Amino acid sequence: MDLQPYVDAVRHELAVAAAAGGADAEALAQRLTAPLDSALRLALLEALSEAAEQITRELAPGAVHVRLAGRDPEFAVELPEPAEPAVPSASSRADVPDDDSGGTWRVTLRLPESLRAGVESAARGEGISVNAWLVRSASARLGAPAGRTRSGGKSFSGWVR
């Protein structure tokens, strides 16, 4: 994060304020700008560090760290390790119905673009819809049969006259 624009903005405001005070005030403001640079950077760094601490408290167990790279701070975000999904026990698998006679459930699923592409590719490879592929995947993960799904072949069913 480049702090220079913020330091320059304070310098500019100091120069504008000094201009109202006359030539002596402008000369004093010019002499103060050099030590002001490091003091402003230190104050901004302290403010950023305190903000990172507050964010870390809210983000726990993740964390945000402020690191110096040369004269400028950088943020490092430490995300918690994803928890391993619990493998359902045999007794909980018994609660999963064997077919889809219980109706359906509509849900909106937001996937990262890379994962979405993989899901679509896998479904296309099996010749089924994304929805059918997701149902199969969830059923396989839970150890339940996937219910009725159509195969990707050219099969037809129904009455013909």
User: pLDDT tens across 67-121, in order?
Assistant: 888 888 888 888 777 665 555 444 444 444 555 556 677 778 787 888 888 888 8
Q: How many percent of the chain have pLDDT more than 90?
A: 0
Q: What is the model's pLDDT at position 159? A: 53
Mean pLDDT of all residues belonging to the chain:
76
What is the span of the domain harbouring residue 50?
A: 4-78
69 and 94 belong to one structural domain: no
Q: Is residue 134 part of a domain?
A: yes
Q: CA separation (Å) from 103 to 3, 28, 147, 151?
A: 58, 79, 12, 21
Q: pLDDT per residue over 38-54, tens digit each?
A: 888 888 888 888 888 88
Q: Is residue 156 part of a domain?
A: no
**Residue after which a domain boundary falls, among 78, 99, 125:** 78
